[in-house]
Amino acid sequence: MATAAGQASLADTKTAGGHGEMLASEQLGAIRLTHWPAFGVEDQRRTGLRLRAAREWIVQAANDADFRSVLRDRKRRIFIACPQARPAGRPYPPRMERRLERRHARRLELTGERLETRLGGATDSSPVFKALLELSAKDDGARLNWLGPNMSAINGCMHPHFAPQMPYEEFERYMLPNRMAQRASEFKLYLAEYLERAGTPPSFLPLVAEPAARRVLSSMKMADFRDWPAALDAFTTISDEMIDGVLANQ
C-alpha cells in the first residue's frame, strides 16, 4: 500500500531526470506510512545522538585499534567501514574522500545503535557517547523504527523499521528498480536529523516531510535507477531556506 500510495502521488510528475520515479514514490510512500505522533522529542534526540556518536567513533577509530574493536564483527560486516588512518599532511585517496563526504545516514544510524550496547568504558571519551547511553537506558528505541523505510520488496515486510541491509552496491545487480528504491528510502532519517540539529521539535515532521521531499526529489538528477549516490547527495540539500519555504506555504 505504501508503494502504491507513493506512485499515485507522483502521477504525471517527472523526477530525477526521468530515472527516479520509483525511488521518489518509495520516499513518499514511506513518509505516508509513518505514524508521526508516535515519534517524540526523546526519539528525535536519540536519532541525532546515534548519528553523531557514529561519526565520532569513525574519527577516533581511524587511529585507535582498541577503539575500532568496539564494533568488531567478523561474521557480519553491516556497520560503516572505518577509514584508514592517513599520514599527517597527506590526503585520502580520491575514492576514500568521496566516501567520507557522502553521508550514509542509515549506516551511521545502525552504527550508533550498535554503539549503545558496546561502548562500555569508552563513554568517558565523549559527552556524546555518555548522552546516548543515558537516553538509550530509558527504553528499547522501538519508536525510532518509524523513520525506517517500506522494505516489502526486500524482506516481505510492509511495516517501517530499520534492519541491517547489504551495501548499496549489492543492489545494483537487480534488473528492476524497486529494491534499490526501497534500499535508498532514507529521506525521513536525513530530515529528522536535520530538524534535531536545528532544535526544531518533531511535531513539525508531519508538516514538512512530504513537501520537503517533493522539493528534494524534483531537483534530483539520476543517471539511471541505480544511481543511488545522486539520491543520497540530494538528501543532504535540506536547508533552513527549504524548511522555511515549506512552512510558509502551509
* 239: pLDDT strictly greater than 70: yes
pLDDT score for 88: 43
Overall pTM surpassing 0.75 (yes/no): yes
Report the DSSP beta bridge partners of residue 151: 157
Alpha helices in 150-186 (DSSP H): 152-155, 168-171, 178-183
45-103 per-position pLDDT tens digit: 999 999 998 888 887 877 777 777 776 654 444 444 444 444 444 454 554 444 544 55
14-49 per-position pLDDT tens digit: 555 566 788 888 899 899 989 999 999 999 999 999
Report the DSSP beta bridge partners of residue 157: 151
Q: How far apart are CA 211 and CA 221, in angstroms?
A: 18
DSSP 6-73: HHHHTTT---GGGT-HHHHHHHHHHHHT--GGG--HHHHHHHHHHHHHHHHHHHHHTT-HHHHGGG--
Ramachandran class of 195: left when φ > 0, alpha when ψ lies in -120 to 50, beta otherwise: alpha
Q: What is the rounded average pLDDT for all residues in the chain?
A: 79
